Amino acid sequence: MAQENAEKNRLIALASEQAYNAVLITDADFDGGGPFIVHCNPAFCQMTGYTREALIGRPPKILQGPDTDMEVIASLKQALTQRTFWEGSTINYRNDGQAYVVNWNVSPVFNENNELTNFVSVQQDITSHVKAEKERETLIKALNQANDPVVITDEKEHIVFVNAAFEKLTGYHKEEVLGQTPAILNSGEQDAAFYRNLWQSLEKNQPFQARFINRRKDGSRYYVEQSIAPVQDEHGRCTHYISTSWQVDDIVEREKVLYAMASEDKLTGLLNRRAGDEALATAYRRWRDEHCPLSIIICDIDHFKHVNDTYGHLAGDRVIQHIAKALKEQVRPGDPVIRWGGEEFMVVIHAPQVTAVNLAERLRNAVSVLEDDEVGRVTLSLGVAEVMPGESVEQLLGRADGALYRAKSNGRNMTMHASGQ
């Protein structure tokens, strides 16, 4: 038995000497300022700057100083006198007077007769950890005081931080979005190409900046200029993404007013020819990138020269206004209706030709029942064409114009569609 105990004690001493954490053992003598140190390992000496010889026989309170939290020490003493386990942290001081933050636990040691003989303490210098936490708290405080929203996600896009400005702008509390992805803000009003460009940039570890149309918790829409940048570790590996944004609703409203002034036909309120060219080009790019069908309808008022010559230009303008209103009422919201020329209109629709022909017939019928008090009824001729593979915008327009010409030639007040290439 004695040999077994000796081997056990040898192993315990060996483990203590080689332990990564600092280990301190004191006696259990509370008289004369004790307990007193009876053993400390090399890690403890390295942490405190004291040699083992300078520590043995002295009380651990030699490590205390002006910033040591005496409430923590009082709690420790109470646990020692009650012979219970204790854990805590405070500021201690090295041999050279330098302060450090220590976290330690103390356990009582009893012999085979259940008599208290020692206390063993395992300690760790957590100064760098506390400093990092303070820096983190300072950073979070600064971000929360920022006026603009900040979002941080991990590399899998899960939100790990939002600041107070984000909560105020979106209506979401941070508890609701942590672990979610920024897709909860997606309004659905930006196409796949937009997000494809975003991820192409981020996958190259390049920042991405654009105007986003986002959605609040209550469903309302808002605009932000948003910048998203990858955060890389020392090995160049992306670990997080940080997004900063600023609200631009006022700017967008002003831009809309200016755009309307520049793009709206003054007589009808439809898109003018310049804006119509842009709308058609945008629709063509969507057809090319997303492979969704695209058709156009070109309409022309029959015998409009006769209307102007007989009733005057004011009557002619009034007829154009009536027809523009009828056309706008028949199409889907978002489908461009354009005043393409004097008495000519165009509708751009993402649909196959058969759908566009049906719409053209509805347009023709809606106009045919209109009646002006002075001019009476007027009619439309319409040409329809769907863009073909490899076809340019100019070729598409040419085929729709050809269909319109056939409708005019065949008696007017009808719809004709273009043949394929």
Task: List, by residue number, the catalytic residues.
Answer: 343
> How far apart are the C-alpha atoms of 418 and 109, rounded to whole Å?
97
- SS3 letters across the chain: CHHHHHHHHHHHHHHHHHCCCEEEEEECCCHHHCCCEEEECHHHHHHHCCCHHHHCCCCHHHHCCCCCCHHHHHHHHHHHHCCCCEEEEEEEECCCCCEEEEEEEEEEEECCCCCEEEEEEEEEECHHHHHHHHHHHHHHHHHHHCCCCEEEEECCCCEEEECHHHHHHHCCCHHHHCCCCHHHHECCCCCHHHHHHHHHHHHCCCCEEEEEEEECCCCCEEEEEEEEEEEECCCCCEEEEEEEEEECHHHHHHHHHHHHHHHECCCCCCECHHHHHHHHHHHHHHHHHHCCCCEEEEEEECCHHHHHHHHCHHHHHHHHHHHHHHHHHHCCCCCCEEECCCCEEEEEECCCHHHHHHHHHHHHHHHHCCCECCCECCCEEEEEEECCCCCCHHHHHHHHHHHHHHHHHCCCCCEEECCCC
Q: Which residues contact 15 (CB under 8 A, 6 or more apart)?
A: none
- Which two structure tokens, joined as six digits, stand for 89? 């942290």
> Strand 295-301 to strand 221-232: parallel, antiparallel, or no bridges (unpaired)?
unpaired
Contact 392, 376 (CB under 8 A): no
119 neighbors 109 (Cβ within 8 angstroms): yes
Q: How many angstroms separate the CA atoms of 283 and 300, rounded?
A: 22
